[in-house]
């Protein structure tokens, strides 16, 4: 937006110079030419000094005020910019109606919405409806009215500067948090807090990280293995903290001006960053990645062809990694006009719930600059209308790079609001209606039951409502460990499998749990395939008091079918078990009928009947006490046991 506004200023300046600023005073002309040369060389202080000298001689020289306005825009100094435009208008208020439009923009950027409104009205009154900036002025009037409405209805907000261990004299922005909330990675514009003479220092974007210990963020340190002499920024870290996507520009292996890169962490060390490749990257500008919690989608910003305006938010399916460690991508998808606009949409963050998107926009109605918005996914291709996250979270300054923790309660973002040292990172408690659905997480280690050695295995978390795999993962990358998000409000089948072992089955019933709950820390001991080995099928369900299989059971039974096909010589016994509610005779019949129902399902799906037998055991083999509802639930189960190998 700043560059677009500067272009408008330059256009106004060039037009006015050729029409209005005529003088026979050679000293004024010489000073103005010198000021223009200094400005073009980025010697702003020198240019301003020369302009003041010439205005002391000819205070009616309108082009001088326009150039001062241009310089102050470049320096992001809005108050003196307003003074310069107002002074230009005093010299000739009616000959340059565009100045009222520029003044409205400056007032809007300062948070003076009523004055901005009046300036836009003044511009429209002095031009016809087809004037060059008339449409923009009318759109800006709508934004002023929306801003006033936001100011009248503030949202709960109390931000906390994250302090000297995170923030510095330089700009800090783009925070990203691991799902356990214990590691933060952010971008620091090293050198941005230093000015050298008339020139801005040449800053360097690098990554820094800090760890939360006993509730205190430790002094941040640079990510030396990733940082280079070039700029790195706008990063996103995966749920388990092992995969980092980020933006880098003007690199020799780049496909456009800026590309998305990735690095993987193993044993505490980050790999050498590599270009994420096509089709995520193109000959256009790609930046600001956000990886979904299930690792399935990468959201990012691009100005590639096929978009809705300037910068758009896109997503691309991450199907996995090749044997050479390269990401495998699907086709990029534009999020559509429910999110993207003719303006710029930036800094996407897809929350761990997989459906709540936070982003910044300079087009949707807001308070000025970039405001933060949120939207919720309705289906694969549709989102709810973006909602401004509200004042005072948003201000007339630029707000962007917001992330929300797994619990959906605490948010982090960067802002240059009063009290900060440039751009600083803040945390705050997000008000309830803007919160995503909370998630917890599963952190586990997969080991051999007999030896305790770590095992490489496939990890799956499946939504039982629609039988879709919510998260796919593995424990292969490091020491048999895995970490994955667990969105609340649903019921999940959880399976772990690998060749040569019985698969592991667990059920997470979280439909009634919408508040913050503790994470699940598991050590999963896989059993080798051998005679006598058994698996409790935690996700096989029946109607109460009946042997009728519920549809949710298909997920687990298909897993068993897959296992039997991969191990084609195995013969199994399917067994049914009940709690002790009711008579022994009724429970015996019920357990037999349920075991037979599973047997028939497998037979119908192509498993040879000579490879299966079934039996019911009633409540004769409990695995827990029948004195509690939880214990009785565990005793109601279906198992399979290997009887021949």
- By C-alpha distance, which of 318, 179, 175 is closest to 242? 179
313-335 per-residue burial string, b: 16 or more CB within 10 A, e: under 16: bbbbebeeeeeeeebebeebebb
By the 8 A CB rule, do 11 and 136 touch? no
Q: What is the pLDDT of residue 21?
A: 57
By the 8 A CB rule, do 290 and 346 touch? no
Q: How far apart are CA 32 and CA 27, in angstroms?
A: 8
Which phi and psi (to 5°) does residue 124 adopt? -65, -30
- By C-alpha distance, which of 279, 208, 206 is closest to 247? 206
Q: What is the pLDDT of residue 23?
A: 64
Query: With helix as H, strand as E and coil as C, how does 178-218 read?
Result: CCCCCEEEEEEEECCCCEECCEECCCEEEEEEEEEECCEEC
Residues 6+ apart with CB under 8 A from 563: 497, 502, 503
- By C-alpha distance, which of 303, 339, 349 is closest to 173? 349
- By C-alpha distance, which of 223, 227, 240 is closest to 182? 240
Q: What is the pLDDT of residue 201?
A: 55
Q: What is the pLDDT of residue 2?
A: 38
Six token digits for residue 591:
């357990």
Q: What is the pLDDT of residue 18?
A: 39
By the 8 A CB rule, do 89 and 106 touch? no
By the 8 A CB rule, do 467 and 490 touch? no
Residues 6+ apart with CB under 8 A from 327: 262, 276, 277, 280, 318, 320, 321
Q: What is the pLDDT of residue 9?
A: 40
By the 8 A CB rule, do 53 and 84 touch? no
Which phi and psi (to 5°) does residue 190 adopt? -65, 125
Query: With helix as H, strand as E and coil as C, how does 364-430 read?
Result: CCCCCCCEEEEEEECCCCCECCCEECCCCCCCCCCEEEEEECCCCCEEEEEECCCCCCCCEEEEEEC
Q: What is the pLDDT of residue 26?
A: 83
Angle between helices 78-91 and 62-74 (to 10 degrees): 170
H-run or E-run covering 175: strand 171-177
Rg (CA), the chain: 31
Residues of the chain scoring pLDDT < 50: 1-19, 198-200
By the 8 A CB rule, do 214 and 195 touch? no
How does pLDDT run across 569-618, given as a tens digit for each residue?
A: 999 999 999 999 999 999 999 999 999 999 999 999 999 999 999 999 99
Identify the structural domains of the chain with CATH numbers, from first to last: 2-152 (1.25.40.10), 170-434 (2.120.10.30), 438-528 (2.60.40.2190), 530-645 (3.30.1330.60)
How does pLDDT run across 528-558, given as a tens digit for each residue?
A: 999 999 999 999 999 999 999 999 999 999 9
Residues 6+ apart with CB under 8 A from 49: none
Q: How far apart are CA 70 and CA 396, in angstroms?
A: 20
Q: What is the pLDDT of residue 1?
A: 39
Q: How far apart are CA 399 and CA 359, in angstroms?
A: 10
Q: Which residue has the tokens 């000015």?
A: 195
């Amino acid at each position: 937006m700043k560059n677009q506004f500067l272009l408008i200023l330059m256009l106004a300046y060039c037009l006015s110079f050729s029409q209005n600023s005529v003088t026979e005073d050679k000293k004024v002309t010489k000073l103005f030419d010198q000021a223009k040369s200094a400005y073009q060389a980025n010697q702003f202080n020198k240019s301003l000094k020369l302009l003041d000298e010439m205005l002391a001689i000819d205070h009616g020289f309108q082009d001088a005020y326009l150039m001062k306005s241009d310089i102050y825009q470049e320096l992001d100094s809005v108050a003196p910019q307003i003074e310069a435009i107002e002074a230009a208008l005093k010299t000739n208020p009616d000959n340059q109606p565009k100045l009222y439009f520029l003044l409205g923009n400056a007032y809007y950027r300062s948070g003076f919405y009523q004055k901005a409104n009046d300036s836009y009205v003044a511009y429209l009154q002095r031009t016809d409806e087809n004037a060059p900036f008339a449409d923009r002025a009318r759109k800006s009037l709508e934004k002023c009215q929306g801003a006033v409405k936001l100011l009248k209805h503030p949202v709960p907000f109390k931000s906390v500067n994250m302090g000297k261990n995170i923030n510095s004299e330089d700009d800090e922005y783009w925070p990203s948090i691991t799902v356990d909330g214990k590691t933060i990675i952010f971008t620091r514009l090293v050198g941005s807090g230093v000015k050298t003479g008339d020139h801005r220092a040449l800053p360097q974007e690098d990554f820094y990280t800090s760890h939360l210990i006993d509730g205190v963020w430790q002094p941040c340190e640079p990510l030396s293995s990733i940082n280079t002499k070039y700029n790195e920024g706008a990063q996103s870290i995966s749920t388990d903290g092992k995969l980092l996507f980020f933006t880098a520009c003007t690199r020799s292996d780049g496909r456009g001006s800026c590309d998305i890169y990735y690095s993987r962490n193993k044993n505490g060390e980050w790999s050498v960053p590599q270009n994420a490749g096509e089709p995520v990257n193109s000959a256009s500008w790609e930046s600001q990645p956000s990886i979904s919690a299930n690792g399935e989608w990468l959201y990012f910003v691009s100005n590639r062809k096929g978009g809705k305006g300037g910068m758009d938010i896109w997503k691309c399916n991450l199907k996995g990694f090749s044997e050479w460690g390269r990401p495998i991508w699907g086709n990029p998808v534009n999020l559509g006009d429910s999110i993207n606009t003719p303006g710029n949409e930036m800094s996407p963050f897809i929350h761990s719930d997989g459906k709540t998107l936070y982003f910044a926009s300079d087009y949707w109605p807001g308070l000025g600059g970039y405001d933060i918005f949120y939207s919720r996914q309705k289906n694969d291709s549709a989102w709810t209308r973006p909602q401004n996250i509200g004042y005072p979270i948003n201000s007339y300054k630029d707000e962007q790079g917001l992330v929300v923790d797994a619990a959906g309660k605490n948010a982090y973002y960067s802002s240059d609001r009063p009290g900060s040292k440039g751009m600083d990172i803040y945390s705050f408690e997000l008000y309830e209606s803007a919160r995503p659905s909370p998630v917890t997480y599963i952190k586990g280690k997969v080991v051999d039951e007999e030896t305790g050695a770590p095992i490489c295995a496939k990890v799956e978390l499946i939504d039982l409502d629609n039988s879709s795999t919510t998260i796919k993962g593995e424990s292969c990358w490091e020491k048999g460990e895995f970490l994955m998000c667990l969105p609340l409000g649903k019921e999940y089948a959880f399976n772990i499998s690998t060749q040569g072992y019985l698969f592991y089955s667990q059920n997470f019933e979280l439909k009634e749990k919408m508040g913050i709950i503790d994470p699940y820390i598991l050590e999963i001991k896989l059993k080798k395939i051998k005679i006598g080995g058994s698996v409790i099928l935690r996700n096989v369900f029946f109607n109460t008091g009946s042997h009728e299989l519920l549809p949710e059971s298909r997920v687990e039974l298909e897993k068993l079918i897959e296992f039997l096909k991969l191990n084609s010589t195995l013969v199994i016994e399917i067994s049914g078990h009940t709690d002790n509610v009711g008579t022994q005779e009724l429970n015996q019949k019920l357990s037999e009928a349920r075991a037979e129902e599973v047997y028939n399902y497998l037979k119908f799906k192509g498993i040879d009947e000579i490879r299966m037998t079934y039996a019911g055991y009633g409540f004769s083999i409990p695995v827990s006490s029948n004195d509690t509802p939880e214990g009785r639930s565990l005793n109601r189960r279906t198992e399979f046991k290997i009887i021949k190998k």
